[in-house]
Amino acid sequence: MLLDTLTEHYGFVFEAPLLKEIAQYGQLKKVAAGMQLMDIGAPITQMPLLLSGAIKILREDEKGDELLLYFIERGDTCAMSFSCCMGGAKSEIRAVAETDSEMIMVPVSQMEKWMFTYKSWQQFILDSYQARMKELLQTVDTLAFLRMDDRLLKHLQDKAKVTGDDHIHATHQEIAYDLHTSRVVISRLLKKLENEGKISLHRNDITVIDL
DNA sequence: ACATTAAGTGATT
DNA sequence: AATCACTTAATGT
């Protein structure tokens, strides 16, 4: 039952009547890892409430190169899309499932209504917005100061965190793609991190030791 | 055994 | 930090 799963994950955040409403208007959605959930330019009609798994949020430049902004985890929602959908705007970002994930999709119209009727909802959106903004500023910081080694280590740690596994299953090329750099650079920095004893390298598998 | 793909390295910009 | 050119290692057929 949808309400049960909902209570399990969000029971501490929302009061009973709101949980009931979410169960009524939302629909459960399960996605496999690697699946694209939202693309740049697509209109936003629904917003996800994440139950399990993780979603990565990407920005894209003119040439189609991607840059990872941040991850969304259980108990999060994409607050960025909230500001967009208030004005009926289109998505500025792309969302891809990092792991197999479950979420509840809620129509935007309902979410707007709840802003006025439920204090806990208002708080949830505000908190979520603040958390995303903080993460975003962090990535901006590392970008601005061109510290690719810090960026890489943080990315590995984030990835291990959202996956819940210290073994990262990814090629150097894929990581380079996320951080918008070349594979050679990633290989070199990974090698450096390995020498520093922070990670261990194997083909298609990086083990994060220093968490 | 051979082809393909992933990873490591030196040199250059 | 990015790119090139090349080597070495792991994996699939």
pLDDT in tens, A37-51: 989 888 888 889 999
Report the alpha-carbon distance of residue A153 to residue A136 in Å, rounded: 16
- pLDDT, residue A92, reads 85
Report the alpha-carbon distance of residue A46 to residue A211 in Å, rounded: 35
- Residues A157-191 have pLDDT tens digits of 999 999 988 999 999 999 999 999 999 999 999 99
Report the alpha-carbon distance of residue A29 to residue A50 in Å, rounded: 10
Mean pLDDT, chain A, whole residue set: 88
The answer to whether A95 and A57 have CB atoms below 8 angstroms apart is yes
For chain A, domain boundaries: 2-143, 147-208
Separation in Å: B12 C1' and A185 CA: 15
- Residues A113-156 have pLDDT tens digits of 998 999 999 999 888 889 888 988 988 888 887 789 889 999 99
- State mean pLDDT over A78-100: 78
CATH T-level fold of A147-208: Arc Repressor Mutant, subunit A (1.10.10)
Q: What is the pTM of this model?
A: 0.87
pLDDT confidence bin for A83, thresholds 50/70/90: low
Residues 170-199, chain A, CB closer than 7 Å to nucleic strand C: 180-182, 184-185, 189
- Residues A196-207 have pLDDT tens digits of 989 999 999 999
Q: Find, among A147, A138, A143, A148, the residue nearest to A183 by Cα.
A: A148
CATH T-level fold of A2-143: Jelly Rolls (2.60.120)
- pLDDT, residue A61, reads 77
Nucleotides of C under 7 A from a protein CB: 1-5, 10-11
